[in-house]
Chains A and B, each alone.
Chain A
Amino acid sequence: MRIEWKKAPVGRRGFLKGATALGAAAALPMGFAGRAMAQSDGVLRVRNYGDLSTMDPAHSVGVVDETIHAAVYNKLIQYTPGTEWGWKLDAAAMIEQADPTHIKFALRDDIGFTNGHGAMTAEDVKFSFERIIADATESPNKPDMGPLSHVEVTGEREGTIVLNDPFAPLWTIALPYITGNIVSKAATEAAGGRIGVDPVAESGPYLRTSWAAKEKTVLSRNPDWKGEAPVWDTIEILPIDDESTAEIAFDSGEIDLTRVSLGSVERYRSDVPNGGTLVENPSLFYVWLGMNLDHPKLQNQKLRQAIQHAIDVPSILQAAYFGAVEPSTGIVAPGLAGNRPASLVPPAADFAKAAELLAESGETNVTLMLDVLNKNEFTTAAQVIQATLASIGITVEINLLESGAFWSSGDNDDLQLVLNRFSMAPDPSYATAWFITEQAGIWNWERFSNEEFDKIHAMASQETDLEARGEMYRRAQDLMEESGAYRFITHEATPVVHSARITPGLRPDGLMLLRDFGKA
């Protein structure tokens, strides 16, 4: 069977019409060529790896929220952008440590809250800080405030922060980070004490104009801001959790800045599209292999030491991190007080020593389970560990877990080996907090329990002498390593690419400080 179509007669007019339509269709994409690149000069578009969850600093879940909070709220002090950790004055015109437990401050007189909530006063500071530690607030960020007792208001814009004990992280975490954001007392109380996904009053150089869930958050200039004028008219923050997607968005010119995957570093080292720049920042994260000290199979310290010496960190870094990161010496990253210049067990494996230790342990036919989060770098690292331990006769079975199941492993008594990675704030106390005896079976998955370590953790946060404090944390990490429960691997890295038209404001660990972004 053959079915014939009638041929439609195409006259001159018809042909011209068709040709015009085709021409327009063909030209259409050309008209849009470079469209994505043509960002408005006053609009900065950056990627965040997650979406905003709250505008309430008391309930902020971390750096994703804080990136936005830091631009729309003020703190007494803010982190400075650059390669070294430090802080600068923000809402405070003056701040000083009067004695180990008293910090005096005076606010600037030109900061006001939006929505008619008036000038920022010391009462707002008192309300914001005491709200974090109040039981009724149920703030998960309460530990950041440490031994904060209260804030004394001594004048309209003057006050004193009073601590129960000296607390060094006040200057590194509490004031310049999440808990340091000052909210309006009047506005928050009017909102019933809880701030949701919409701000009740803002005071920073930018205002949160809009938020579309999982789409974008838009900040715009605060017209009433009297401080240094913000450079951008508008900042769009796009939540893109997938690194590859973010890289494509950057390559196509749709965003000005994104963190990139370690696997892409080599590509960007050779060429960043559109004249952009690659910035390779160190990271504060720490990755390690942990051994459950309570597990019957891991009771023998010689066996644990054999495992420590048989794991070849450079091989892991080459295979899993594409050689773009450095080995770590512990849980405290370079640049922070307490970073160790070298670990007790060198990064490179010593198979002869490992075999010797295994023989001394008297253990034979050792088979262990290694729990791993199902992400590329961890699965690759686990395979390297599996191969290297096999070379001394230890069999490793890899147990891949999705994130929900993996992060519930704390109370798993059957846990044997675990490849782990914790996030970190720029103070060593934030790292040691998870390895104290009290945390055993919660976040201390190795069930490491050491009286001296616990004591150091408690005392070091009160030590205000930087060198003495650093020495204490170095000793704490020695204790961890000596237990045989830890093989430190890396702090990873935060490679960031940015477009040619911006100068990014980044913390030393590569995270964004939006108010410090400028134009090239």
Chain B
Amino acid sequence: MLKFTLKRFALAALILVVAVTIMFLMIRAVPGDPVSIMLGPRATPELKERLIAEMALDQSIPKQLLLFFGGLLRGDLGVDVFSGRAVSEIVFEQLPHTLKLIFSAIAWSAILGIALGCYAAAHPNTWIDRVTATLSVSCIAAPAFVVALLSLLIFAVQLQWFPAIGVGEGFWDTAWHLVLPSFAIGLSWVGYIARLVRASMLEVMGESHIRTARAFGLSERRIISVYALRIAILPVVTVIGVGMGFLLSSAVFTEIVFARPGLGKLVIDSITTRNYPIVMGAVLVSTGLFVVSTALADLINALLDPRARTAT
């Protein structure tokens, strides 16, 4: 398991370096003079020159890349040229808001999706299964931005049950502010996970060790929750791991619609203003988040199913 863990994290580190390098090159390829955009019409030539030097924009692209990774190894993501604050400080200030959003969305959608999937698998081809299937596919088909806007109009504007904007203060207020945004980005995952669990469960339920468990007279509930679900959930863990990337992109939109701070909004604002240090810092952290979550999903899979350790 240790060897597997080391291999998996080495691969994760490599993916991170490649992804960040690609992002670095893409950002440099974006049209528009970053210094003019950042400083605006009032900037003096001296100020522009100083900024160019501070951002190392007068260096070649490979040199800039080396400087970036050099700083990264020292734990230095650079300084925001506008505020003079450390980029890491700015990024990590925003990160908790995005993590709360993503994890709350994943949590409720996984709990509900797994329950629905199990229930449908327990009643295959019955009206319950069909209703669950219809609901699941409807959830998958509902675009997050439509759900976000409609839920805002219904639950925030019309009924005024939930707040429309912001992140709140304190545990309960924060949780209350998370309801609508996490509902918006988690809804399609409910359907997706439910369908995945159902299909996986039905496959597992037909396997010989389940028949053996039945022969021993174990209750169906115990068979499902202890023996079948443990195996059936493996693809869900993988999907959730990979899904972190999709959730991050959904979070961008959700953060804008619900006026929430977060990594997504930070990246959008920084790209618009060509604030390269912040863009790179935020991209590095979000890519790292994605890579670590997929690596963790693999590790969890390996823990749950030893066959996965030898498969890679």
Contact = CB atoms under 8 A, between A and B. Distances in A.
Interface of A: 1-6, 29-30, 32-37, 53-54, 61, 135, 138, 140-143, 194, 196-197, 212-216, 238-242, 245-246, 248-249, 251-255, 273, 402-408, 410-411, 434, 442-443
Nearest to B168: A215
A408 B32 contact: yes
A252 B160 contact: yes
Given A61-B40, A197-B83, A434-B41, 13 more contacts: A1-B205, A29-B161, A53-B83, A61-B82, A138-B47, A138-B50, A215-B97, A215-B167, A215-B261, A245-B256, A403-B272, A404-B31, A442-B41
Closest CB pairs A-B (n = 8): A140-B42, A214-B261, A404-B32, A408-B32, A29-B161, A405-B31, A3-B122, A240-B259
Contact of B273 (A6, A246, A404, A410): A404
Main secondary structure of the interface of A (DSSP, over half): loop
Contacts of B46: 135, 138
Interface string B110-131: 0000000000011110100000
A366 to B, nearest CB: 26
Contact of B36 (A30, A141, A239, A410): A410
A133 B18 CA distance: 46
Given A61-B40, A213-B90, A36 B82 contact: no
Contact of B84 (A29, A135, A194): A194
Contacts of A6: 219-221
Contacts, number: 157
Nearest to A213: B93
A370 to B, nearest CB: 17
A32 B257 CA distance: 21
Interface in B256-312: 256-259, 261-262, 265-266, 269, 271-274
Contacts of B272: 402-404
A248 B156 contact: yes
B213 to A, nearest CB: 12
Please indicate which of the listed interface residues B85, B257, B259 has the most CB atoms of chain A within 10 Å of its own CB: B259
B224 interface: yes
A36 B152 contact: no
B157 interface: yes
20 contacts: A1-B202, A4-B220, A5-B220, A6-B221, A36-B163, A54-B83, A61-B40, A61-B82, A141-B42, A245-B164, A245-B257, A245-B258, A252-B160, A252-B163, A254-B164, A273-B157, A402-B272, A403-B37, A405-B32, A408-B36
Nearest to B44: A138
B40 A140 contact: yes
A403 B94 CA distance: 24
B11 interface: no
B156 A252 contact: yes
Contact of A5 (B40, B93, B122, B273): B122
Given A213-B93, A214-B266, A254-B164, A3 B121 contact: yes
A249 B36 CA distance: 34
Given A140-B42, A143-B42, A248-B152, A212 B261 contact: yes
A196 B81 CA distance: 11
Contact of A3 (B33, B97, B123): B123
A105 B153 CA distance: 53
A238 B165 contact: yes
A140 B43 contact: yes
Contacts of A212: 261
Interface in B191-216: 202, 205-206
A36 B156 contact: yes
A410 B39 CA distance: 14
Contact of A240 (B41, B124, B152, B165): B165
B53 to A, nearest CB: 13
B229 to A, nearest CB: 12
A495 to B, nearest CB: 19
B159 interface: yes
A242 B256 contact: yes
A213 B162 CA distance: 23
B125 to A, nearest CB: 8
Contacts of A402: 272
Contacts of B206: 1
Given A138-B44, A248-B152, A408 B37 contact: yes
B204 to A, nearest CB: 12
Nearest to A434: B41
A232 B261 CA distance: 26
A143 B43 CA distance: 10
Nearest to B228: A3
B274 A404 contact: yes
B36 A238 contact: no
Contacts of B153: 248
Interface in B82-106: 82-85, 90, 93-94, 97
A368 to B, nearest CB: 21
Interface string B27-57: 0001111101101111110110010000000
Nearest to A411: B33
Contacts of A35: 160-161, 163
B176 interface: yes
A216 B47 CA distance: 30
A213 B89 CA distance: 11
Contacts of B256: 241-242, 245
B143 interface: no
A255 B269 CA distance: 23
A442 B205 CA distance: 71
B162 A32 contact: yes
Contact of A36 (B43, B83, B164, B273): B164
A434 B40 CA distance: 12
Contacts of B159: 29, 33
A372 to B, nearest CB: 15
Contact of B39 (A36, A140, A238, A239): A140
A434 B266 CA distance: 31
Contact of A33 (B97, B161, B165, B224): B161
A92 B197 CA distance: 72
A514 to B, nearest CB: 19
Contact of B257 (A242, A251, A410): A242
Contacts of B83: 53-54, 196-197
A143 B160 CA distance: 48
Contacts of A143: 42
Contacts of B160: 32-37, 252-253
Nearest to A28: B161
A404 B30 contact: yes
Nearest to B46: A138
A241 B270 CA distance: 13
B90 to A, nearest CB: 7
A331 to B, nearest CB: 14
Nearest to B41: A443
A169 B92 CA distance: 43
A437 B256 CA distance: 40
B166 interface: yes
A407 B259 contact: no
Contacts of B258: 245
Contacts of A197: 83, 85
A53 B31 contact: no
Nearest to A214: B261
Given A138-B47, A252-B156, A408-B36, A3 B205 contact: yes
